[in-house]
Amino acid sequence: MKFNSALRNFVLVLFSTLLISACSTAKKASVDTVDDVYTGTDTVEYLAKGVPDRVFFATNKSKLTTRSRDTLRKQATWLRKNKDVTVTVEGHADERGTREYNLALGERRANAAKDYLMTYGVSGKRITVISYGKEKPVNPASTPLAWSQNRRSVTVKTN
Amino acid sequence: MKKLILVFLFFILVSGNANSLIKVDITRGNLDPLPIAVSPLHIDTKSEDLKSLKERKLGEEISKIIEKNFKSTGLFNPLKKDSFVQKPDIAHLKPRFEDWRLIKAQALVTGKIFVKDKKLKVEFRLWDLTADKEMTALSFTTTPSNWRRVAHIISDKIYERLTGETGYFDTRIIYVSESGPKDQRIKKLAIMDQDGYGTKYLTLGNELVLTPRFNPTNQLVTYMSYFKNMPRVYLLDIETGIQEVVGNFPGMTFAPRFSPDGKKVIMSFAKDGNSDIYSMDLETRVVEKITEHSAIDTSPSYSPDGKYICFNSDRSGLQQIYVMRSDGTGVKRITFGKGLYGTPVWSPRGDLIAFTKVRKGRFYIGVMRSDGTGERLLTENYYQEAPSWSPNGRVLIFYRETKSDSQGKGFSAKLWSIDITGYNERMIKTPTDASDPSWSSLLSK
């Protein structure tokens, strides 16, 4: 009996330790991605102060998240203020898809960003798009975090 | 690049089709490869430049290439030469069958080299050691610098005689050579013989190049290039090195392939976030839109009769494989299995479609019938894709990438081949990392 309860305590302690470490892993991951979309700032550069240059996508998707739309509105505001600036929107995919499909996916992502910029008053004539598929990863690691950073569209000044 | 057109003279000395006993079955995985002895080809003493021929050991070199080809099929087991009992010249005249049977050989290849008037004549015989008779004898005359190709042609003839199928040794592979760190990869078009020999680079690496594919006569290549940062489909003439953009599309074109008659290039054109399939007639320059759908349509590949096209689309929500008539009508989804399907390629025999499948984070190369039934997954790995068929439809070549660590190190991309039986998976050595392989048709038909 005594032995049993000692064992039970041990198991309980072990279990809760596992639980805590599981929680901390989950917490760490949630800092970087929400619903498979990167939300960190590690790879982000800025077109101007407070204007991030890129938005991120979920695996195989090209839908803009609330956060992405917020970023693109900031880009649109900045572009409307700087009327002589032209940009290229580069679309990218992660390395976990076939090359040809990823080229198409990158193009779809870049156009999702371009369309949103146009909706917020930026002339389509000022925006060109290019897809690099999976050819230009920003993070070369083979980890879910790297892949989420690589699924992106980046707005780059061209003049 | 040197002209590829070569004149080979074929002389059939004896054709011994009747009553041979050995036959290699290539329709299933061969766990018991045929023991074959390839005697070094002997050099005729009346040859010009006899000394140099002997120094170069040309007879031995040719036999080594034949052995390597046979070994690579997994269907043959070339026996070690130390155990050979008969001298090459005597064996070529008439082997002592019992001596060769003693070393457990079931087939024997013998041959002779003769150089006269700056022409190389190579003669070979294939002997059936279970029936004590000659099965095939052929000779080829060509320029001496073509000796490697002669070795491949002989390999093809023997393969054909023993398996009843066309060979695939006198072929080349075009691929993308890769070097540098993963996030700054330098990519060049490269071409090599099927056995990995004689790599030549066709572009300098100044711009990103992807997915090269041969035309049916192997003189042209269609591929994608980011020249001047404009991703477009190009044509490259291998002999002249002349490159040109295919068509005048106001956006990215990609995923090109030739039609089986070589007259058209079929490809994807991406506009406003939507990729559809187009073809362009290379002579008339007429462009035809083949698919019209808001989803991604890409990776088109014609059936060998040119009547159908298989392609990749995510119109169902996820990547799947579809087949349609070559005018774009009668679109039909053919993959319904769990997972994603991409890169469909129609077999040159017409019966099968090879594909890449992605499921639970693993990548598979597989084959299925052209109606989508009879799916067989041949190989599973961390990342692999883009199968290309050997001209006889028996072997697939593809590329495989390894995982990189948190710093992006440890990454590699290599070419691999596998029989459609699922057996005989092997890496093909290349001087650099490699991807996007495409197999030529037979160079000498």
A85 and A138 fall within a common domain: yes
B157 and B180 fall within a common domain: no
pLDDT at A20: 45
Residue B247 in any domain: the answer is: yes
Residue B274 in any domain: the answer is: yes
Compute the distance between CA of residue A118 and CA of residue B215 in angstroms, rounded to an integer. Answer: 42
Strands B76-78 and B34-38: parallel
B97 and B198 fall within a common domain: no
Compute the distance between CA of residue B5 and CA of residue B15 in angstroms, rounded to an integer. Answer: 27
A42 and A76 fall within a common domain: yes
Segment B374-382 shows an average pLDDT of 97
A41 and A64 fall within a common domain: yes
Segment B403-420 shows an average pLDDT of 94
Domain that holds residue A11: 1-31
Residue B115 in any domain: the answer is: yes
Which of A114, A128, A142, A152 is the best mutation test for B, with the most CBs of B within 10 A? A142
Chain A residues with CB under 8 Å of B342 CB are 97-98, 100-101
Segment B365-372 shows an average pLDDT of 98
| B273–A110 CB contact, under 8 Å | yes
* CATH number of the domain bearing residue B113: 3.40.50.10070
Could you tell me the two tokens for A39?
Answer: 């939300």
| B299–A141 CB contact, under 8 Å | no
B180 and B159 fall within a common domain: no
A27 and A39 fall within a common domain: no
Residue B399 in any domain: the answer is: yes
B322 and B426 fall within a common domain: yes
Could you tell me the two tokens for A59?
Answer: 């695996």
Q: What is the DSSP string of B42-64?
A: EEPTT-TTHHHHHHTTHHHHHHH
- Global pTM reads 0.90
The percent of residues above 90 in pLDDT, for chain B, comes to 89
pLDDT at B55: 86
A70 and A139 fall within a common domain: yes
B131 and B190 fall within a common domain: no
B133 and B191 fall within a common domain: no
**A96 min Cα distance to partner chain B (Å):** 7
Whether the Cβ atoms of residue B120 and residue B146 lie closer than 8 Å to each other: yes
Residue whose C-alpha is closest to residue B417's, from B54, B69, B112, B155: B69
**A83 min Cα distance to partner chain B (Å):** 23
**List of residues 6+ apart from B102 with CB closer than 8 A:** B85
B61 and B182 fall within a common domain: no
**B313 min Cα distance to partner chain A (Å):** 9
Q: B240-272, pLDDT tens digit by residue?
A: 999 999 999 999 999 999 999 999 999 999 999
A44 and A25 fall within a common domain: no
Put the strands of the sheet holding B362-369 in their side by side order. B340-346, B352-359, B362-369, B376-381
**List of residues 6+ apart from B396 with CB closer than 8 A:** B354, B365, B367, B378, B387, B388, B389, B390, B417, B418, B419, B420
Confidence of residue B24 (pLDDT cuts 50, 70, 90): confident
Residue whose C-alpha is closest to residue A122's, from A153, A87, A152: A87
Q: B174-232, pLDDT tens digit by residue?
A: 999 999 999 999 999 999 999 999 999 999 999 999 999 999 999 999 999 999 999 99
pLDDT at B27: 67
B349 burial (CB, 10 Å; 0-12 / 13-18 / 19+) is: middle
Strands A87-92 and A152-157: antiparallel
Is the pLDDT assigned to residue B416 strictly greater than 90? yes
Confidence of residue B29 (pLDDT cuts 50, 70, 90): low
Is the pLDDT assigned to residue B4 strictly greater than 60? no
Whether the Cβ atoms of residue B270 and residue B291 lie closer than 8 Å to each other: no
Segment B159-164 shows an average pLDDT of 94
| A135–B208 CB contact, under 8 Å | yes
Residue numbers in chain A where pLDDT is lower than 50: 1-3, 12-14, 16-30
pLDDT at B14: 41
* CATH number of the domain bearing residue A59: 3.30.1330.60
What is the number of CB-based contacts under 8 A between chain A and chain B?
Answer: 108
Q: Name the residue of chain B whose CA is nearest to A140's CA.
A: B408
pLDDT at B408: 87
Phi/psi of residue A27, each to 5°? -65, -40
| A141–B255 CB contact, under 8 Å | no
A56 and A15 fall within a common domain: no
Residue B3 in any domain: the answer is: no
**Identity at B410, one-letter amino acid code:** G
A24 and A42 fall within a common domain: no
Q: B61-117, pLDDT tens digit by residue?
A: 999 999 999 999 999 999 999 999 899 999 999 999 999 999 999 999 999 999 999
**List of residues 6+ apart from B211 with CB closer than 8 A:** A99, A100, B176, B223, B224, B254, B255, B256, B386, B436, B438
Nearest to A98 among B224, B231, B356 (CB): B356
Its sign, for the CA torsion B220, B222, B227, B232, is positive
| A138–B254 CB contact, under 8 Å | no
If phi over 0 gives left and psi between -120 and 50 gives alpha, with beta otherwise, what is residue B350? left
Could you tell me the two tokens for B420?
Answer: 């459609």
Which of A101, A117, A134 is the best mutation test for B, with the most CBs of B within 10 A? A101
Domain that holds residue B338: 172-439
B116 and B209 fall within a common domain: no
**A138 min Cα distance to partner chain B (Å):** 7
Strands B119-128 and B133-142: antiparallel
Beta bridge partners of B237: B220
Chain A residues with CB under 8 Å of B340 CB are 60
Residue B323 in any domain: the answer is: yes
What single-letter DSSP state applies at residue A43? T
A22 and A40 fall within a common domain: no
Q: Does B406 touch chain A (CB under 8 A)?
A: yes
pLDDT at A6: 53
Segment B107-128 shows an average pLDDT of 95
- A112 membership: H or E segment, kind and range: helix A99-119
Is the pLDDT assigned to residue B345 strictly greater than 50? yes
A61 and A97 fall within a common domain: yes
B136 and B231 fall within a common domain: no
Compute the distance between CA of residue B237 and CA of residue B246 in angstroms, rounded to an integer. Answer: 13
B294 and B155 fall within a common domain: no
B176 and B116 fall within a common domain: no
Q: What radius of gyration, in Å, describes the C-alpha atoms of chain B?
A: 23
Residue B445 in any domain: the answer is: no
**List of residues 6+ apart from B397 with CB closer than 8 A:** B173, B387, B388, B390, B415, B416, B417, B428, B437, B439
Segment B379-404 shows an average pLDDT of 97
**B398 min Cα distance to partner chain A (Å):** 12
**Identity at B150, one-letter amino acid code:** V
B158 and B179 fall within a common domain: no
ipTM score assigned to the predicted complex: 0.92
What's the domain count of chain B? 2
Compute the distance between CA of residue B413 and CA of residue B400 in angstroms, rounded to an integer. Answer: 6
A105 and A43 fall within a common domain: yes
Average model confidence (pLDDT) across chain B: 93
* CATH number of the domain bearing residue B288: 2.120.10.30
pLDDT at A21: 45
A149 and A74 fall within a common domain: yes
